[in-house]
Amino acid sequence: MTNEIWRSENASLDQSSLVLNFVDNMTMGVGFEVLVDGNPASANGVTSGGQEVVAMGASLMTRTAQETELKLSGAFASGTHSVTIELVPTRMDPHPELTLLGGSVDGVALTGIAANIYGGDNYTFDFTGAAPTVPGPISIGSGSSSIDLYLSEDAYLGNAEFTVSVDGAQVGGVYAVTAINSINQSEEFILNGDFTAGSTYEISIDFINDLYGGASTADRNLFLKSAQFGGATISGSNFGLYSSGTQSFSFTDGTATTGSSGGSEGSSGSDVAGSLTYVGVNEGMGPNAPQVGAGVYGTNWTYPTDAEMDYEKSQGMNIIRLGFLDDRVATNASGTLSAAGLALLDPIVDYATSIGLKVILDDHEYGDWFGTELGTGTAASNTADSEYDTFWANLASNFADNPDVLFGLMNEPNQQTAAQWAGVAQGAIDSIRATGASQEILVSGTNWDGAASWYSSSSDGSTNASALLGITDPDNNMAFEVHSYPDPSGGGTSAATNTTTGVDRLQAVTQWAITNHETLFLGETGGGTSTTSLEAIDNELNYIQANSDVWQGVTEWSAGPWWGNYQYTLEPTELTDTGTTAYNQPQMTQLDTFAPTYTGSPWTI
């Protein structure tokens, strides 16, 4: 019996399977949990009956005292992986026993893993997976000359498929890609034709079988890594397609421009020079410890000190994204502002803007208003929507006379459909403008405001790409804030493992902005201090700077006090000791180079 019940962090790569064989001697079966690389198994789609493995919360259970085969599918390619088996004692069976007979990866037996496992014990073994073999070059069409296309994919329940056309005429049939983008593989397709020197040709890649399973790890995507003609890389031939549609590039003797239609997802900005208007940091301790509600300032949460903002200004930063929680600024759900809250917030904003920093007021509530999800259409939600509008009207009025304040409507809403969230955002914009406040407004998207999920469908079929286009600002002074991290999850929880993933995730929304003449702001990105992480962030920053016609700026995560040894901290060392030199974190040294006002001067308190 075989059940596919687990997918790794990169579960979209349906390339490898790990099979484990168990037997138990218990009459009631044995409950156990399996973790691969620290990720628990899930029983998605498993049914009961016969000799099955069935879900028990986060655990699994053998049904009978017979051999059970468990199949775990995921991204087991390239590298060493750790498997941990934990038995789950129950009231009926406080001392379970389970025997691991053996296992295999993609049909190749794992040796030396057999073990008897007893209740209260964990058993761990490691195995090394091999990267999937990429097939040799595939020839498309015929002719006297050729273009080499190098493609890769995020697979999900099958491989990405495409067709290729030259000047609108399809060449060959439908082709599938097997090279895995996340581990830097690429697969060569040789496009043959009679390409004449001096003539211009348009090459189109049509992604025909997009599939999205509701998460970034369950999303089929296609990437053109590069195209080469006569041994030279064609400029503009690097892009990702995150939904079905066509992306094109044209070339004459190796020079290129890009264009798109349908569901296309953007192009590399490597040929575009420019500079960003805003480069800065997130101040992330205002929303710290949300579980305590309003909490105690200086104990549960805090804002940046003057010294920290002085430091950031000295490094060329010209903007900060200042996070706050609603119950630390408003008295209650009515939207009335708290005098005590403003007594803490106002001086921070006043000092920051006095030294030349713009301040984004970031409502860091994930689409929530005092415990109620906004925009969902229930009676409680409708009341919350109105209260939220009142809050933004009051906050805008409080800062209406400070032109260096920007209004960040909401951090990472995620429970609303794109259409629902567009309605919430429009209400807040209208309320702000009704006060006479004219400062810039940053509008986020739903689905955690992810750049890579801009075209992903909500439960009602709406997408950020479609729904947010309906938002209007009577002052025409707004931008769309998106978040994107280059780590495997895309959520900013670990070091990056690939130097190009960050850029890949930004391409769709970039092309959307180009096509629709919109402005973007990268509200959150960040990485650790590993070489791969730093290179990934550098690639992201170069990409948005190259596309500064639509990208207004960036605030990297995260600066401010209390971060300690947090891998993404931008806080310098020695900052609190008067008369000493504050040493940059590697990420800040990197960010400096993109700041429009950085002079290279040292920083001393």
**305 and 407 share one domain:** yes
The answer to whether 524 is a known catalytic residue is yes
Please give the residue that has the higher pLDDT: either 419 or 248.
419
Contact 572, 588 (CB under 8 A): yes
Q: Give strand pairing partners of 401.
A: none
Q: Give strand pairing partners of 337.
A: 330
**445 and 495 share one domain:** yes
Task: Tell me the percentage of the chain whose pLDDT exceeds 70.
Answer: 80
pLDDT category at 225 given cuts 50, 70, 90 is confident
Please give the residue that has the higher pLDDT: either 116 or 106.
116
Residue 596: per-residue pLDDT: 79
Angstrom distance (rounded) from CA 68 to CA 21: 6
Q: 39: which 2 tokens?
A: 């990720």
**143 and 118 share one domain:** no
pLDDT in tens, 374-401: 999 999 999 999 999 999 999 999 999 9
pLDDT in tens, 305-351: 998 999 899 888 999 999 999 999 999 999 999 999 999 999 999 99
Q: Is residue 552 assigned to a domain?
A: yes
**378 and 242 share one domain:** no
One-letter amino acid of 363: D
What is the pLDDT averaged over residues 460-477? 95
What is the pLDDT averaged over residues 32-39? 73
Q: 309: which 2 tokens?
A: 């903002």
Q: Residue 291 sits in a domain of what CATH number?
A: 3.20.20.80
DSSP reduced 3-state for 153: strand
Angstrom distance (rounded) from CA 249 to CA 259: 6
Residue in 180, 271, 161, 283 with CA at minimum distance from that of residue 225:
180
Which residue spans within 386-494 are E strands per DSSP? 405-408, 441-444, 478-483
**462 and 341 share one domain:** yes
Give the end of a domain, one of 85, 109, 129. Answer: 129
For residue 458, what are the contacts with CB-CB under 8 A and spacing of at least 6? Answer: 416, 417, 418, 419, 420, 446, 447
Number of helical (H) and strand (E) elements in the chain, helices listed first: 8, 33
For residue 319, what are the contacts with CB-CB under 8 A and spacing of at least 6? Answer: 278, 279, 280, 357, 358, 359, 360, 406, 553, 555
Q: Is residue 270 assigned to a domain?
A: no
pLDDT category at 580 given cuts 50, 70, 90 is low
| pLDDT of 120 above 90 | no
Contact 541, 281 (CB under 8 A): no
Residue 405: per-residue pLDDT: 98
- Burial annotation 250-275 (CB, 10 A radius, 16+ → b, else e): bbeeeebebbbeebbbbbbbeeeeee
Angstrom distance (rounded) from CA 439 to CA 402: 8
- Other beta carbons less than 10 A from residue 366's beta carbon: 16
Domain holding 420, by residue range, is 278-592
Angstrom distance (rounded) from CA 38 to CA 9: 10
Q: Is residue 2 assigned to a domain?
A: no
Residue 257: per-residue pLDDT: 40
State the total domains in the chain: 3
What is the pLDDT averaged over residues 502-521? 94
pLDDT category at 51 given cuts 50, 70, 90 is very low
| pLDDT of 372 above 90 | yes
- Among 10-14, 169-173, 419-423, the minimum mean pLDDT is found in 10-14
What is the pLDDT averaged over residues 427-456? 96
Contact 465, 471 (CB under 8 A): no
What is the pLDDT averaged over residues 451-471? 95
pLDDT in tens, 239-264: 888 888 898 888 875 443 444 333 33
Alpha helices (H) along 248-305: none
Residue 317: per-residue pLDDT: 93
**125 and 144 share one domain:** no
What is the pLDDT averaged over residues 486-504? 89
Marked catalytic residue, from 161, 365, 524, 556: 524
Angstrom distance (rounded) from CA 74 to CA 346: 50
For residue 291, what are the contacts with CB-CB under 8 A and spacing of at least 6? Answer: none
| pLDDT of 597 above 70 | no
Q: Is residue 604 assigned to a domain?
A: no
**116 and 200 share one domain:** no
**114 and 146 share one domain:** no
**323 and 215 share one domain:** no
What is the pLDDT averaged over residues 8-16? 40
Across the chain, mean pLDDT equals 82
For residue 448, what are the contacts with CB-CB under 8 A and spacing of at least 6? Answer: 412, 413, 414, 483, 491
What is the pLDDT averaged over residues 357-364? 98
Q: Is residue 10 assigned to a domain?
A: no
Residue 286: per-residue pLDDT: 94
Q: Is residue 5 assigned to a domain?
A: no
pLDDT category at 78 given cuts 50, 70, 90 is low
What is the pLDDT averaged over residues 419-426? 98
Residue 261: per-residue pLDDT: 36
**311 and 454 share one domain:** yes
Q: Residue 81 sits in a domain of what CATH number?
A: 2.60.60.40
| pLDDT of 50 above 80 | no
- Among 27-31, 80-84, 151-155, 433-437, the minimum mean pLDDT is found in 27-31
User: How far does CA 370 lie from the centroid of its chain?
Assistant: 26
Q: Is residue 7 assigned to a domain?
A: no
Alpha helices (H) along 399-530: 418-434, 464-467, 501-516
Marked catalytic residue, from 308, 412, 535, 540: 412
Please give the residue that has the higher pLDDT: either 361 or 220.
361
| pLDDT of 201 above 70 | yes
- Among 64-68, 204-208, 482-486, 526-530, the minimum mean pLDDT is found in 64-68
For residue 52, what are the contacts with CB-CB under 8 A and spacing of at least 6? Answer: 1, 3, 46, 63
| pLDDT of 467 above 80 | yes
Give the end of a domain, one of 261, 291, 316. Answer: 261
**173 and 218 share one domain:** yes
DSSP reduced 3-state for 257: strand
Q: Say what the pTM is.
A: 0.59
Angstrom distance (rounded) from CA 124 to CA 120: 13
pLDDT in tens, 284-308: 999 998 988 899 999 999 999 998 9
**204 and 97 share one domain:** no
For 70, list phi and psi in degrees, rounded to 5. Answer: -120, 120
**Which of 41-45, 269-273, 544-548 is most confident?**
544-548
Residue 270: per-residue pLDDT: 29
Give the end of a domain, one of 261, 287, 320. Answer: 261
pLDDT in tens, 133-179: 788 899 999 998 899 999 988 887 788 999 999 999 999 999 999 88
Q: Is residue 8 assigned to a domain?
A: no
